[in-house]
Amino acid sequence: MNQAEAFAAITVAAVAADHSFVGDEAKLIREQLLQRAPYRTMPLPSFGELFSGLLLRLRDIGWQALVREAAPQLQPDQRETAFALAAQLVHCDREVSAEEEAFLEQVAHLLELAPQRSHQILEVCALLNADCLA
């Protein structure tokens, strides 16, 4: 697994948090990855193959193994950003279940993020996704 695959793998693992993959999540993953190097220069069919391959790996080995495989390929700052994107995916429906919170805690642990840092990231994601005018 290379760095591009590893970074994308963390975001793909986030779809396992609630055991469903809805349109909002697919759209968010695509938008977030396609605005970043190296994905933005990838032909769309290649990006689709990368994404499909990661979804198959997720199905075959589970999200924990996928994250364990990806983590060593990423630098600490890349791990933080990948975690932030995973948290954004979990928060995008504005409902975070206890199961999803546990998922994010486990991902932070597997990525070896400092607890204080992972909590900061989660707080920011919650603020960004709060439906505060409802």
> DSSP string of 7-74?
HHHHHHHGGGTTT---HHHHHHHHHHHHTSTTGGGS-HHHHHHHHHHHHHHHHHHHHHHHHHHHGGGS
Residue 28 lies in a domain: yes
CATH number at residue 11: 1.10.3680
Residue 50 lies in a domain: yes
Amino acid at 73: Q
> In the chain, how many domains are there?
1
Residue 29 lies in a domain: yes
pLDDT of residue 23: 67
State the residue range of the domain holding 113. Answer: 3-129
pLDDT of residue 27: 81
Residue 134 lies in a domain: no
| Closest C-alpha to 29, from 82, 106, 67 | 82
Residue 110 lies in a domain: yes
pLDDT of residue 26: 77
Residue 102 lies in a domain: yes
pLDDT of residue 28: 83
Residue 39 lies in a domain: yes
Per-position pLDDT tens, the chain of length 134: 999 999 999 999 988 777 666 667 778 888 999 999 999 999 999 999 999 999 999 999 999 999 999 999 999 999 999 999 999 988 887 788 899 999 999 999 999 999 999 999 999 999 998 888 98
